[in-house]
Structure 1
Amino acid sequence: MTQVLNVTRNDVGQFEITDLSGKLIEGPFDTNAAAWKALDRRDNDSANRPDKPRSSKKVLWGKPERKSKRARRKEKRLQEKQEHRMKENAAKAPTWIRNVAAAKFDPAGVRAYRDAKLGTFGAASEVRRIDPAEYLAEKARRGEV
């Protein structure tokens, strides 16, 4: 015969597992989730499994296996080869690809290159810093007005 159990709230606000007559089976629990978890545990323990001692030891799923020294050395050698191959391929890349990569990874370097390329005609040139009043005064002194 199956026993019907309910999760109910008591006067204090805690949750309890009770049977149909209202008799306390297990509890009190602080949260509703804790009470339902205990109820599920109770259902699974009694119906599906025979009694067995439970271990409180945590199961470490996916624990990495220890590799042998030989395997680690081989993996390291492969990684070094791959890095070397990447560097060789990067050196063989066309100029436009290298410039795009340099712009992406070194924007300050691109700015320095761009500013040096502008020379004396860029935004930082001396021509741009002339005061208009001084310029007109100099022009008037020469008689070019």
Structure 2
Amino acid sequence: MTVIETESGFVVVDGDKVLAGPFPTSAEAWRAADRLDGSPISPAEKRADWISNKILSSGPMPIAPKKKTKRERKQAKAAANAPRWVRDIAAAKFDPHGNRNGNVPVQQGKVPLNRIREMWAA
């Protein structure tokens, strides 16, 4: 009894009779040949078979959430512990358009309403 490589993989043959196969690797084919011979299986090999079958039968690994960096964790913790007035100011100052200088974009030739109020109040 021996193992030969064919186009479809490795097979266990005895003379010109195919006994088992095809297997993707030579090691798997030789393991099958040992089983056919009736060789005893070592406890370590039994355990390895059991573990690999258990892992393969459980399906694909679940997708774990990506780890945050230490800096991101510290920022999230600090933001959660901030007093309410700090959170309110941060929410009020948030500008999705990115106007960082605090000025409201003005159309050409028009004065903002708050500027008009300032002029009349003076």
TM above 0.5? no
Larger radius of gyration: 1
Place the TM-score, normalised by the shorter chain, in its bin: 0.3 to 0.5
The structure whose residues are more often helix, as a share, is 1
**TM-score normalised by structure 1 residue count:** 0.29
**TM-score normalised by structure 2 residue count:** 0.32
Answer 1 or 2: higher relative contact order, Cα 8 Å, separation at least 6: 2
